[in-house]
Structure 1
Amino acid sequence: MTTSVVFNPFVPSFKKNPYLQYGRLRAAEPVHFSAALGAWVLTRYEDCVAVMRDHETFSSDARNAGGPIAEVIARQRQQSNLSRADTILGLDPPRHTVLRALVNRAFTPRRVQELRPHIEDIARTLLDEVGDEFDLMEALAQPLPVIVIAELLGISPDDRLQFKEWSNAIADTTNLLQNEAMQARAQQATLELVEYFNRVIDAREAEPRDDLITALVQAEEDGKKLRREDVLAFCILLLVAGNETTTNLIGNMLGILADRPELWRRAREDRALCEPIVEEMLRFDSPVQGLARFATRDVELNGARIGKGDIVLAMVGAANRDPEAFANPDAFDLERGGGRHLSFGQSIHYCLGAPLARLEADIVFRALLGRFAEIEVGEGGIERGGTLLLRGPAAFPVKVSRSK
């Protein structure tokens, strides 16, 4: 199939609103090879689901990648001293099944729910510091997830600024073929994180505590335990994925609400709307825009011939706006009901952190509603950040009117 439509995520207009390019691409060539990315880009809901469910053909393990990206990945793993480590995000069965079962032993719904009062305290403390004009990202959306993850792991929240720097550097790798400076920063950040978490794991092995790192060290399934490298890899994954995605989730949610003052007023009058608003926001402007898979064999998908080793990007942000899956997809509609969006993935790789992300978004939303009668975008407007696979504001000045 040939098309005149060119997918270029590096133009400024894409960062501002990727959904226009997604829509044109979906209509013209839903399985599209992007020369700019060196990867296949999927924009249909049905195709994205098919790829995420077929882990035998479309692997999550980047070691199945071909071309320049394979060299980058191999070098990063070797230089970070994690060349033997596995993460549940980048594995296929049967190893994925074993590792996920072990992590599930430690990262339980009960442990997440027990964080609620702590997260409420964190949100309250952060909001106590703001005036009537402040940057939402700097004051709330960026620090809160890092503090929460530190609390969950059982490490000092005083290190949160350093955590944020490490997390940002590693998250830049979602640009796929990033430049050498970005690669170097990510590698250095990973090395420093490995050194940091190694010290913490040593301490927990010597003196266990009631925290996630201790639970990971002690987790056992059918006589099997997590290797040191796997505990390290999961801690880094949780820090980066849990930090960046939740920060983006909060920023995107408030962007939608600031643009819809009537929705803010409705939610202040009826807190039962908080949950459906968060779910529709996840569909409408997902903090995770795409997930990478790697073809293990030559395969045809929706008329396109994908080669072994090719990178396949399931653009869940585009899938969530597919008119074949969602009626009037470009409208923010609380009546459509949640649950079908792909923002937390699909199948065996459905996001383990989804309950925590939803919990944090709900708490932040309720905390803001309780304090502020109105919220609007401040001077300078929203500055878009993110990468190809992540979407969220870099800066978000707001002006608020306080509740009386």
Structure 2
Amino acid sequence: MNEAVRNAAPAAGPAFNPLSPDFIRNPYPFYEYLRTHAPMMKTPIGAYLVSRNADVAQVLRDRRFGKDFAGRTVARYGEGILDEPVFRSMSHWMLTQDPPDHTRLRGLVVKAFTARRVEDMRPRIQAIVDDSIDRVERAGRMDLIADFAFRLPVIVICDMLGIPEEDRELFFMRERTGGRLLDPVPLTRAEIDEANQNHQNSLDYFLKLFELRRRQPGDDLTTQLVQAEDDGNKLTNEELCGNIILLFGAGHETTVNLIGNGLLALHRNPDQLELLKSRPELTPNAIEEFLRYDSSVQVTGRVALEDMGEIGGQEIKKGDSVMCMLGSANRDPQAYAEPDKLDVARKNIRPHSFGGGIHHCLGAQLARIEAEVAIATLLRRLPTLRIDDVENPEWRPTFVLRGLKRLPASW
């Protein structure tokens, strides 16, 4: 039995370490235990883990739940945490805001992510994918994360933010350590110091980019946000900085994981790999199945803004914090037959992987198209590709964002 599952018995107290290597390698047995025995388990930090599909859906769409980032963060770390630069910046993200600030901030960028505008990006996405494969095809080997899954969404979000070509190598070289900021397990002092330094590095760059786009406006999101700040006082400087950093991170992190997790799932299930190769028209549906099967985002948090009554057999009071276990909801047998089976032809897939309600991911459709083009092109152009070790890949040591650190492959 999975060690995390053994430790989960409510009678023994809510022992739950989402950063243990055993859990990160495979969280799904633990989720199964939660859904069956403790669908509203209370954690040591006082939050409830909501694990069943129906309960997760209820919380995500109910506007009586909000974010209350400041309250949740102070409860986790203590007074003074919002004086730390990285957490102060996060408090201005649209991701962490409640209306009316959330509505105002989201309204400034939503037009960049309309279905029509995103679909118009498909030729550019195809060109980036082809270029990435061209770079490595003759070598016969690559890391599917660094050389493929990472390059595509980073280039796309750089395009959208108007980051000059000559600056982009900076972003390819950066370590992907930001995911720990979102984990419910508090960061150590050393991790906070590192996060503050990384935040400062990002801030130094984006402040220069703001000045560039004030002098040389472009058809990009940075120009749009700078002009909103200058013209209508719609953005404070901290809101501008925080949300550009958010857009850059959110614009690539989940897509990297979607592509990487999807490719690993295919190669762990050779029958599904061969089916998708023979029927590429299934690719859009396969992307939904990858989102369901091994979600890039495993958890999203909410706070009850008023007494909520009973959810999952538990009375939820005003101020209670709940963590919606998206990865668990996507594997709930009450919602999906044979939920632990990968089925790229599965019908009626409605994954919670992009959240829900007013905080449903702005870039959901962009991520879908990027993954669709990337995976379909890879299977077509490198049909003999094989992952070196499908059984023991190296996962990133984060819980909320589930993804691979590297994934070597050859052909």
The TM-score, its normalising length taken from structure 1, stands at 0.88
Q: 1:228 to 1:251 in 2, by over 3 A?
A: same
User: What's the C-alpha RMSD, in Å, of the aligned pairs?
Assistant: 2.7
Identity %: 39
1:82/1:285 CA distance change after superposition, 3 Å: closer
Matched, 1:398 2:402: no
Q: CA deviation at 1:92?
A: 1.5
2:92 alignment partner in structure 1: 86
Structure 2: distance between partners of 1:80 and 1:206: 30
Equivalents in 2 of 1:178, 1:88: separation in Å?
Answer: 22
Instruction: State the secondary structure of the residue aligned to 2:368.
Output: helix
- Structure 2 residue aligned with 1:371: 381
1:385 alignment counterpart: 396
Q: Distance in 2 between matches of 1:338 and 1:224?
A: 44
SS in 2 for 1:334: coil
Residue 360 of structure 1: CA displacement? 0.8
Structure 1 residues 169-184: aligned runs within 5 Å: 169-176=177-184, 177-184=186-193
Are residue 155 (structure 1) and residue 138 (structure 2) matched?
A: no
164-173 vs 138-147, greater mean Cα deviation? 164-173
Q: Does the CA contact (< 8 Å) of 1:377 and 1:398 recur in 2?
A: yes
1:333 shift after superposition: 2.4
Check 1:370–1:16 CA distance in 2 against 1; reply closer, same or farther (3 A cut).
same
C-alpha separation between the residues in 2 aligned to 1:170 and 1:2?
Answer: 32
5 Å-filtered alignment, 1:70-219, equals 71=79, 73-76=81-84, 78=85, 82=89, 86-130=92-136, 131-160=139-168, 162-163=170-171, 168-176=176-184, 177-218=186-227
CA shift at 1:350, angstroms? 0.7
* CA drift at 1:309: 4.4
Aligned position for 1:289: 298
* CA pair 112-348 structure 1, distance change in 2 beyond 3 A: same
Question: Secondary structure, in 3 states, of the residue corresponding to 2:191?
Answer: helix
The alpha-carbon deviation at position 64 of structure 1 amounts to 2.6
Give the aligned partner of residue 271 of structure 2: 262
Aligned counterparts of 2:222 and 2:37: Cα–Cα separation in 1 = 48
Residue 308 of structure 1 and its aligned partner are, at CA, apart by 5.1
Partner of 2:66: 59
Check if 1:43 corresponds to 2:51.
yes
Say how many residue pairs are matched: 395
Q: In 2, are the aligned partners of 1:218 and 1:225 still within 8 Å (CA)? A: no
Q: In structure 1, how many angstroms separate the alpha carbons of the residues matched to 2:49 and 2:299? A: 9
Structure 1 residue identity aligned to 2:102 = H
**1:107–1:46 CA distance, 2 compared to 1 (3 A):** same
Secondary structure in 2 aligned to 1:287?
Answer: coil
* SS of alignment partner, residue 233 of structure 1: helix
Structure 1 residue 396: Cα displacement: 0.9
Quote the offset at 1:49 in angstroms: 1.6
The runs of 5 or more residues in structure 1 that have no matched partner are: none
After TM superposition, give the deviation of residue 39 of structure 1 in Å. Answer: 3.0
- For 1:354, the aligned partner's letter is A
Which shifted more, 243-252 or 65-74?
65-74
SS in 1 for 2:383: strand
The one-letter amino acid paired with 2:291 is L
SS at match of 1:230: helix
Counterpart residue identity of residue 153, structure 2? P
Aligned to 1:349: 359
Determine which of 27, 35, 47 is the counterpart of 1:18: 27
| Contact 2:292–2:349 (8 Å) recurs in 1 | no
**Helix, strand or coil: the match of 1:168?**
coil
- CA displacement, residues 292-328 of structure 1 (integer Å, 9 cap, x when unaligned): 2234456553233556544321110000011112222
**1:24 and 1:32, CA in 2 relative to 1: closer, same or farther beyond 3 A?**
same
* Displacement after TM superposition at 1:136 (Å): 0.9
Q: 1:334 to 1:126 in 2, by over 3 A?
A: closer
CA distance in 2 between counterparts of 1:375 and 1:3 reads 47
- State the TM-score, normalizing by the size of structure 2: 0.87
Change (3 A) 1:109 1:195: farther
- The corresponding residue for 2:334 is 324
